[in-house]
Chain A
Amino acid sequence: MAQIQAGNRGAFDQLVKRHLNIIHAYTSRLSRSPTDADDLTQETFMRIWQKASTFRFENVRVTTWMHRIAHNVFVDSWRRREPTQPLDDETVETALSPEPQDGDAKQVLQTNIGRLPLNQRTALGLCLLSGFSTDETGHIMGVSPHAVESLIARARRGLRQTYREQDSENRPCQ
């Protein structure tokens, strides 16, 4: 990172190679569109290059800092596209969620993880899927660690309730 801060393009090449997949996975989860994920990933690395001098080793890990930039790139992109709509849970859920799919309860559960409100999906993804701590997730999302815990708890409860409802619908009458 220090070499990138000094403008070393070779070092930046290595950074892209090492982190491309995880940043692309993150932008894919946020945008749920392969094309948008490509553009968001490219924009993210562009900003990483341009803002490398602002990175401070003592503050956060490089991956946390990069995810925060990716998150901000997504939020900026959302605001450009939907300038009048706030980036809150309900709005995003309505705007982005696909129609429920047929299938067994487990499949529906998997689908519903993708249908979670954006903040819950992001917190769940960063903490449980990417392995960030609640502090780091809070840093990436710009919220407190307590808010992250609350988002994850709400996500778990919502998914469990959906699963139980679906499971009871699929269960044959006795």
Chain B
Amino acid sequence: MDPQAFNALLDTAGSHQATWPAEVRDEVERLLAHSADARAELQAAQTLDQVLNQVIDSVSEHRAPPGLQARILAGLPADTVSFVDQWVDWLMAGFWRPAVLSLAPLLLGTWLGSAIPLPEDEPSPALDLSSVLLDEVYTSYD
């Protein structure tokens, strides 16, 4: 392994041997055995990891100032989200929603068509007239 590849390994995987790919560990050992510069890079990487661990601890101990939570909750508007905003947010959250919305009139019409009962069949005036005429024909034959 050349020094550039070793630096790239430290950049991506850090100084912990356990995080290095198994197939390069022997090559790293050989490089470290004869390169003082590689050893210095490794030492710098180990120090960096120690410092990062200290920072991790400080992050986990980080506390927001007292009173901030109350300030956040007090800052919420009484009516934070209008009905229109909620509706627009809902509509924009998925590409399928506008499609479903555009189908809504069709679905409504289909439902109305099947739900509303048709009026009872009544004889049409034309039918009545034909029956009268037929009656007259039958009468004349009689």
Of A46, A124, A128, A160, the residue contacting B41 (CB under 8 A) is A160
**A24-B62, A28-B62, A149-B12 given; A105·B47 CB < 8 A:** yes
B22 an interface residue at 8 Å Cβ cutoff? no
Residues of A within 8 A of B8 (CB): 153
Residues of B within 8 A of A28 (CB): 62
Of A22, A42, A106, A153, the residue contacting B68 (CB under 8 A) is A42
The interface size of chain B toward A, counting residues with CB under 8 Å, comes to 38
Residues of B within 8 A of A41 (CB): 64, 68, 72
A25 an interface residue at 8 Å Cβ cutoff? yes
Distance of A23 from chain B, by nearest CB (Å):
8
Judge whether B10 and A156 touch: CB under 8 Å.
yes
Distance of B23 from chain A, by nearest CB (Å):
20
Judge whether B47 and A50 touch: CB under 8 Å.
no
Judge whether B81 and A50 touch: CB under 8 Å.
yes
Q: Which residue of B lies closest to A166 (CB)?
A: B44
Further 16 A-B residue pairs, CB within 8 A, beyond A24-B62, A24-B65, A156-B10: A20-B68, A25-B59, A38-B68, A42-B68, A42-B75, A46-B72, A46-B76, A50-B81, A53-B81, A54-B93, A106-B47, A109-B51, A113-B55, A156-B48, A160-B44, A160-B45
A–B pairs, 26, beta carbons within 8 Å: A7-B81, A9-B76, A12-B73, A20-B69, A21-B62, A21-B63, A22-B62, A24-B64, A24-B65, A38-B64, A38-B65, A41-B72, A42-B68, A53-B81, A53-B90, A54-B92, A105-B47, A110-B51, A110-B54, A130-B59, A156-B11, A156-B48, A159-B48, A160-B10, A163-B44, A167-B44
